[in-house]
């Protein structure tokens, strides 16, 4: 009688969550469609003037992707909490933070990655300068995992509640403000022809910090929530 290895456990979590989201692959499109609709609303509200839209394009894309991410957050632990799979995860002999990190990784892959893929389309719809697009994608690649990690802690805190949607948004959006400032700041600098590396590096540093600390906080919050 010996328990399985940690690697096998992480692999099992990743494989199961990927299979589950593949079985419901239609759901993966929802955040992308949402961001698309939000971005479409701005030309209607502000007028289709290309120069005016191009000036604020990066900011709009970031906010649209960020809010789409918030709406997708709730699904991170919801079904696991409802069917008891979370208890089995907590009871497993392996470190809970690592297993949760795997879950967060899969959640990012299935919700945020499609948004990054759709980002060039969103940027094009708002006439973003083509030279800024690589900076926008780099900022998104650093910012969205950070958002997922920060969001996971808040989801873990609210997963025990029945209707936590609005509360979750209220908890998580203030935490997203610094991420938004640095990500949009990098694009602003690139648009103005200024050096844009510093804000990106700050995002990278914050991501590394969150990568280490967020799963630990997430595990502690989940233990509180399921009791």
Partner 1 sequence: MRPACASRFLHRDAADARKAWRDRAGLASIPGSMATSPDHDPIPLLEARGLAFARNDEPVFGPLDFRLFAGEVVLIEGDNGAGKTTLLKVLSGLLEPGAGEIVLNGEPLTLARLSHQVALLGHLTGLKGDLTALENLRFATGLGGMRPGITPSLALGSVGLEGYEDVPVRQLSAGQRKRVALARLLLVPAALWLLDEPYANLDRGGIDLVNRLLDDHARRGGAALVTSHGAYAFTSGTPRRLPLRSAA
Query: Would you tell me which residues interact with partner 1 (CB under 8 A)?
Result: 1-4, 8-9, 11-13, 15-16, 19-20, 23-24, 79, 82-85, 87-94, 99, 223, 226-227
Q: How far apart are CA 122 and CA 139, in angstroms?
A: 15
Rank residues 1 and 45 by Cβ distance to partner 1 and give the closer one: 1
**For residues 161 and 175, is the Cβ–Cβ distance under 8 A?**
no
Residue 156 Cβ, how far from partner 1 at the closest point, in Å? 15
Q: How far apart are CA 72 and CA 83, in angstroms?
A: 19
Residue 85 Cβ, how far from partner 1 at the closest point, in Å? 4
Residue 33 Cβ, how far from partner 1 at the closest point, in Å? 22
Rank residues 12 and 116 by Cβ distance to partner 1 and give the closer one: 12
Q: How far apart are CA 152 and CA 210, in angstroms?
A: 11
Give how far Cα 217 sits from Cα of 63, 85, 139, Å: 26, 20, 25
Q: How far apart are CA 104 and CA 145, in angstroms?
A: 9
Residue 84 Cβ, how far from partner 1 at the closest point, in Å? 3
Maximum pairwise Cα distance, the chain: 69
Instruction: Compute CA 168 distance to the chain's CA centroid, rounded to the nearest angstrom.
Output: 14
Residue 95 Cβ, how far from partner 1 at the closest point, in Å? 10
Rank residues 13 and 189 by Cβ distance to partner 1 and give the closer one: 13
Rank residues 179 and 222 by Cβ distance to partner 1 and give the closer one: 222
Rank residues 84 and 134 by Cβ distance to partner 1 and give the closer one: 84
């Amino acid at each position: 009688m010996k328990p399985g290895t940690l690697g096998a456990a992480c692999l099992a979590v990743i494989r199961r969550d990927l299979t589950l989201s593949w079985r419901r692959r239609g759901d993966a499109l929802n955040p992308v469609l949402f961001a698309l609709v939000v971005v479409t609303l701005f030309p209607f509200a502000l007028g289709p003037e290309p120069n005016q839209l191009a000036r604020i394009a990066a900011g709009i894309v970031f906010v649209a992707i960020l809010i789409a991410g918030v709406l997708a957050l709730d699904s991170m632990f919801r079904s696991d909490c409802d069917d008891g799979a979370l208890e089995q995860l907590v009871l497993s002999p392996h470190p809970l933070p690592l297993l949760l990190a795997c879950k967060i990784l899969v959640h990012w892959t299935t919700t945020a990655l499609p948004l990054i893929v759709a980002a060039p389309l969103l940027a094009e719809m708002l006439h973003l300068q083509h030279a800024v697009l690589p900076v926008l994608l780099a900022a998104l690649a650093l910012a969205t995992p950070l958002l997922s990690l920060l969001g996971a802690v808040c989801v873990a805190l609210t997963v025990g509640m029945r209707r936590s949607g609005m509360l979750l948004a209220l908890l998580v959006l203030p935490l997203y403000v610094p991420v938004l400032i640095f990500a949009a700041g990098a694009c602003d600098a690139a648009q103005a022809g200024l050096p844009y590396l510093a804000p990106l590096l700050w995002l990278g540093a914050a991501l590394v910090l969150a990568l280490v600390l967020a799963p630990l906080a997430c595990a502690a919050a989940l233990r509180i929530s399921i009791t």
